[in-house]
């Protein structure tokens, strides 16, 4: 059954109206590169991110508290045994061949004057900071004394 020209025009106008009505829906459904990139992103749970940030902050606080406690312990330690003799142990296994002292009670490391090169690690020594000298520990005279008696 063939349609005459008036019917064909009417069908065409109906089709145009239908597609004009579908145009906003088709734009929303169309796969654009932005939509494809957004769809390929992994799903991130906001609750998991908040929990991880909270746990990191708690860990940081615990680390800082433990550091403060260790520092207080080391400052209060007499570094002597029950017979009032120095309890500091000597160490000689350093590349600069200078002795170091370790207190077995508080784990204080007594070091001589030495260079510190910030950032010298896995980046091949191209650190961001400038090298500087750390002065010797205030108890290093004990290490020298114990070294002379050994």
Domain boundaries, the chain: 44-76, 78-150
* pLDDT given for residue 77 in this prediction: 96
- Spans of the chain below 70 pLDDT: 1-2, 119-128
> Per the confidence metrics, is the pTM higher than 0.85?
no
* pLDDT given for residue 75 in this prediction: 96
* pLDDT given for residue 125 in this prediction: 54
* pLDDT given for residue 126 in this prediction: 58
* pLDDT given for residue 122 in this prediction: 57
Q: Say if residues 119 and 128 touch (Cβ distance below 8 Å).
A: yes
* pLDDT given for residue 123 in this prediction: 56
Within 10 angstroms of residue 138's Cβ, the number of other Cβ atoms is: 8
């Amino acid at each position: 059954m063939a349609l005459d020209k008036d019917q064909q025009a009417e069908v065409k106008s109906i089709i145009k109206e239908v597609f004009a009505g579908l145009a906003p829906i088709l734009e929303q459904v169309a796969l654009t590169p932005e939509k494809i990139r957004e769809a390929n992103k992994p799903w991130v749970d906001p609750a998991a991110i908040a929990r991880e940030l909270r746990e990191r902050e708690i860990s940081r606080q615990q680390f800082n508290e433990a550091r403060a406690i260790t520092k207080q312990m080391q400052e209060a330690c007499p570094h002597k045994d029950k017979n009032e003799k120095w309890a500091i142990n000597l160490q000689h296994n350093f590349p600069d061949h200078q002795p170091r002292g370790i207190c077995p009670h508080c784990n204080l490391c007594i070091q001589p004057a030495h260079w510190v090169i910030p950032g010298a690690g896995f980046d091949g020594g191209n650190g961001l900071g400038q090298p500087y000298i750390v002065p010797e520990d205030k108890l290093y005279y004990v290490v020298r004394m114990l070294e002379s008696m050994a």
